[in-house]
Amino acid sequence: MIRTPRDLVTTHAVLARPVLVPELELYLVTPSCPLWRAKEVDLLALGLEAPYWAFAWAGGQALARFILDHPERVAGRTVLDFGAGGGIVGLAAARAGAARVVATDLDPVAVAAIELNAQHLGLPIEATTEDLLLAPPSPAWSLIVAGDVTYEPEGAQVVLRWLQAQAQLGSEVWLAEPGRGFLDTRGLHPLHHTQAPADVDVEGRYWVPTTIYRVPPA
């Protein structure tokens, strides 16, 4: 049977509350889900790419917490959640009163998860698989938020250059970095330091130092 992206989310994830952001109940993979123990061959059999959307990663949780604690910094703004995964950061922005939130992720299952999470929480958010790295920078966004998009060296630099180009056009850009070591942080402006649950640690047993940077123009 061919399942739709929405079917894949509701079949393999459960509603759960991230440790740092319990206000947002999301479709996540937890130890109670068979997908938690799935290997690459299992994912292929299910028609799934690596389910990054299924976890509330450290950077996303840190950004979402910061936004919910400081809603005045987001209220009334147009917000882009770049590399959104399951949409935790964009949903936090919507909860904080953003005028418009668009979440982008290349994985159509992630987009389905964002839509389902938004529907469950009753929050307005748009989701798209458009690859913005291939599009010219746009001045459409008052605020761009990006968590957990710097998980390998080459990609981290590509993303940083794109975010700097967006900042050049006037967007305020926040980038969360949970110490993976692939991001060149020279020239970035620390906005907030915190501790966040380590990646895929759904119980909050292990915490990692996480910094939210403001990205200036190149």
End-to-end CA distance of the chain: 49
DSSP E strands, 47-199:
78-82, 100-104, 126-128, 143-147, 172-177, 189-197
Q: Write the CATH number of the domain with boundaries 5-214.
A: 3.40.50.150
Whole-prediction pTM: 0.94
Q: Which residue has the higher pLDDT, 1 or 197?
A: 197
Q: What is the distance between the alpha carbons of residues 103 and 105, in angstroms, rounded to a whole number?
A: 7
Range in 16-20, 150-154, 205-209 with the lowest mean pLDDT: 150-154
**Mind listing the pLDDT tens digit for each residue in 84-123?**
999 999 999 999 999 999 999 999 999 999 999 999 999 9
> In this predicted structure, what is the pLDDT of residue 137?
86
| pLDDT higher than 70, residue 60 | yes
Q: Domain coordinates of the chain in residue numbers?
A: 5-214
> In this predicted structure, what is the pLDDT of residue 38?
80
